[in-house]
Amino acid sequence: MTDELVRRTAAHTARAIADGEVSAVETTQAHLDRIGSVDGRVHAFLHVNADGALAAARTVDDRRAAGERLGPLAGVPLALKDVIATKGLPTTCGSRILEGWVPPYDATVAARLRAAGVVILGKTNMDEFAMGSSTEHSAFGPTHNPWDLSRIPGGSGGGSAAAVAAFEAPVAVGTDTGGSIRQPAAVTGTVGVKPTYGGVSRYGLVALASSLDQAGPCARTVLDAALVHATIAGHDPLDTTSIEAPVPAVVAAAEAADVRGMRLGVVRQFAGEGYQPGVEARFREAVELLEGVGATVVEVDCPHFTYALPAYYLILPSECSSNLARFDAMRYGLRVGDDGTASAEEVMAATREAGFGAEAKRRIILGTYALSSGYYDAYYGQAQKVRTLIQRDFAAAFEQADVLVSPTTPTTAFRLGERVDDPMAMYLADLCTIPSNLAGNASMSLPCGLAAEDGLPVGFQVIAPPMADDRLYRVGGALEAALSDRWGHLLIDEAPDLVTATAGEPS
């Protein structure tokens, strides 16, 4: 029964709990047992909230027993990226500098999930302060890809994607600054969505780059992602960048799964050298499938996308260097070198040296330099001008197409350690995802098959205009249905059974 419960979708699980077919406690315990069985090898979680999760599940069961009508995700277990503040639970951001910190408040995302009766299983691993594309920059060790434990699960939110792919949680929430939800989804065969910037509150998200960060869902199906999206989205007066507008009808769009009459724009700049042949092949097949169920395909030109990567790696480090200055050993978190005689500056320096990892230090130094006197206009200022040009490229493209499509990432999951000492090779994993963050667009990655070369998942990216998030779910739902009809099952069902598998073990 445990295996059956953990393999159910979130939508199925919620219906079964509401109908009394299974209890929320049974469902939660099944997922906790699964975590106990496989997470020693996957390392998706940094903290498992077993007692709290079971208590929350009992509350849902009590509400059902009292005749209360439950919401669409009540009793569903969920994994939460460890960059989202949670009252009473550690929030480390994958960094030693926050090791053991327990926030006294909930992020709006966490509060909305709790209010909806969602059961928070625990906090998932991530690259330190969301800086990375492989989850190898976590201070607490890397996460492993459930499809092949010798490979990366993507980043920075590899823990959330791996938890979902390993059936440790039916759904999760991550954050996406340059692809940190979508790129892990692509390489783990899951669904990941970056909502429109401002569509989901950032209050309580520990900031990396404030103009880029956005929380969003991770799931095994498009409908499950929509259910999480609808739960966490909406205006929040605590976030000054929150959009005061109705949440797009994402659940209805996922259920409709209809692309008849829609124009899909294939981005010319997201093709060519550096793309794995198996990735391109699965992408082209997916486009043909969508064309076969009623979409029209056009090619669009976005000439400034080629400058997105360098612009992003000036804007993000600049904002990061400012945001991470708050970790000064004076108020919370790690404190090193305070022997009673050291000055505040000496304690700050010692703490930051001990608490920040190499990638965090690299980006802080880059950002500080880009913002420094005499270089601001040449670097940060120029990058912001490129950002404007990319936004104009999107505006022009959306006059020709309703959504844009591309591979999510140029390759399948690479091996752990393969790029960790080559920052540029690591950064290229986000080549296709970064433009959406610079422009604030809504974007989704969903699985479109396995690459012939290595049998690993390939991601298909859909990009919609701001506050047109429902278009992602129309296209995603249609592609998922077409692929499921072809295969007779979801791609995730081909993932190896980690309980019995021995192939691909980490060395």
DSSP H helices, 371-444, are 382-400, 423-427, 434-439
Nearest to 183 by CA among 385, 389, 458: 458
Q: What's the CATH code of the domain at 180?
A: 3.90.1300.10
| pLDDT of 505 higher than 60 | no
Average pLDDT, the chain: 95
DSSP H helices, 80-147, are 108-115
Question: Does a structural domain hold residue 262?
Answer: yes
Nearest to 166 by CA among 140, 145, 191: 145
Question: Does a structural domain hold residue 124?
Answer: yes
Q: Tell me which of 43-52, 113-122, 327-336, 472-481 is least confident.
A: 327-336
Question: Does a structural domain hold residue 129?
Answer: yes
How far apart are the C-alpha atoms of 482 and 350, rounded to whole Å? 56
Nearest to 215 by CA among 187, 239, 237: 239
Q: Tell me which of 45-59, 218-232, 344-358 is least confident.
A: 344-358
Bigger pLDDT: 502 vs 8: 8
Number of domains in the chain: 1
Question: Does a structural domain hold residue 373?
Answer: no
pLDDT tens, position by position, 229-264: 999 999 999 999 999 999 999 999 999 999 999 999
Question: Does a structural domain hold residue 479?
Answer: yes
| pLDDT of 506 higher than 60 | no
| Model pLDDT, residue 1 | 66
Burial of 127 (0-12, 13-18, 19+ CB in 10 A): buried
Burial of 458 (0-12, 13-18, 19+ CB in 10 A): buried
Structural domain range at position 467: 2-305+387-494
Catalytic residues: 81, 156, 180
pLDDT tens, position by position, 62-102: 999 999 999 999 999 999 999 999 999 999 999 999 999 99
Classify each residue of 387-418 as buried b or exposed e, where b means 16 or more C-beta atoms within 10 Å of its C-beta.
bebbbebbeebbeebbbbbbbbbbbbbbebeb
How far apart are the C-alpha atoms of 327 and 290, rounded to whole Å? 48
pLDDT tens, position by position, 442-492: 999 999 999 999 999 999 999 999 999 999 999 999 999 999 999 999 999
Nearest to 152 by CA among 129, 133, 169, 171: 133
| pLDDT of 503 higher than 60 | no
State the average pLDDT over residues 307-311: 96
Question: Does a structural domain hold residue 410?
Answer: yes
Question: Does a structural domain hold residue 363?
Answer: no
State the average pLDDT over residues 272-296: 94
Is 254:10 a contact under the CB 8 Å cutoff?
no
State the average pLDDT over residues 300-306: 96
Q: Which two tokens stand for residue 105?
A: 């408040």
Question: Does a structural domain hold residue 348?
Answer: no
Is 161:184 a contact under the CB 8 Å cutoff?
yes
Label residue 507 by pLDDT band (50, 70, 90): very low
Label residue 291 by pLDDT band (50, 70, 90): very high
DSSP H helices, 107-190, are 108-115, 158-165, 182-188
